Amino acid sequence: MVSEKTALLFAGQGAQYIGMGKDLYAAFLESKAVFDKADKVLGSSFSKLCFEGPALELTQTQNCQPAILVTSIAAWEAFKSVHSSLCSSVHSYTAGLSLGEYSALVAAGAISLEEAVYLVRKRGEFMEEEALKFPGRMASILGLDLAVVKDICRETKAEIANINCPGQIVVSGGIKEIEKAAKLAEEQGAKRVILLEVSGAFHSSFMQGAALKLAGELEKIKINTPRVPIVSNVTAKPVTKPEEIKANLIKQITGSVFWEDSMRFILSQGVTQFFEFGPGKVLKGLMRRIDERAQVTNIEKKEDILNLSK
């Protein structure tokens, strides 16, 4: 059922929805324990926010970031409880899209769940604070080569936030700059330009203040050597040294997310099977564009875990 080399992938921001994790909470004691720990860190109403909303509150950056992390780890813990034979040493790498990198660190044993929940809540708060100080936005450009998008960024002062897969690049920056970049992308023949529903210019220099504040919080946190390498968003290379992990998490706030390169590195190591944990199937969709031969199994709900046994 599982190839010799397997990697674990973890969902990023934007995949949240009301009710995520609720069936895991009801079905698996291990998942319930994850949500209960988050409630202790963030307040007793946090699980209720994930399960019942309201949507406006759940989608706030400081809430959706821990919500996605907790749901992802709840899925991982439930998966381990049912498929322990697959989890001892089978996976070779972990990786997570932006916020998902924190989930990857928890799964690899580099950081505790409680500290990760605390960190991503602070991360979200810091990002929201900077977004209020320096208004900005993001846009996803579909169907243009990277070289063309780089030229657009040079002309408009927009910045490349994510290189997700062939033909999908996200840019970030000031409101006027992103609107101009979107118009230029359309003129250059982009198949589609989507102005994203986010509160600020994430993964750009607009977030420098958030990076500095996060650095202060990371000084309080102990990061352990992970059991398996984490492939970093900002380098697309494996990392195991705690100080490098910490430095990369700080760089990630203002730097580009090299998701396509990260996946290509893992594929180059002979990995052909991936498990995607957390809400949504975004990473499976991106992998289909990167290498359609790779097998990605989504682990989000109770049925996903139990169906693996069949």
Catalytic site positions: 98, 203
**Do the beta carbons of residue 185 and residue 162 sit within 8 Å?**
no
**Phi, psi (rounded to 5 degrees) for 8:** -105, 130
Single-letter code of the amino acid located at 17: Y
DSSP β-bridge partners for residue 243 = none
End-to-end CA distance of the chain: 10
Taking Cα atoms as reference points, which of 274, 239, 245, 301 lies closest to residue 116?
245
To the nearest 10 degrees (0 to 180), the angle between helices 113-133 and 242-254 is 30
Q: Are strands 6-10 and 91-96 parallel, antiparallel or unpaired?
A: parallel
Calpha distance 125→188 (Å, rounded): 36
Q: Which of 21, 15, 77, 14 is nearest to 52 (CA)?
A: 21
Range list of H helices, the chain = 22-27, 29-42, 46-52, 55-58, 61-82, 84-87, 100-107, 113-133, 146-156, 175-187, 208-218, 242-254, 259-268, 282-290, 302-307
Please tell me the distance from the alpha carbon of residue 124 to that of residue 42, in angstroms, as a whole number. 13
Query: Up-side HSE of residue 31: CA atoms within 13 Å toward CB?
Result: 26
- b/e sequence 106-137, b meaning 16+ C-beta within 10 Å: bbbebbbbebbbbbbbbbbbbbbbbbeebebb
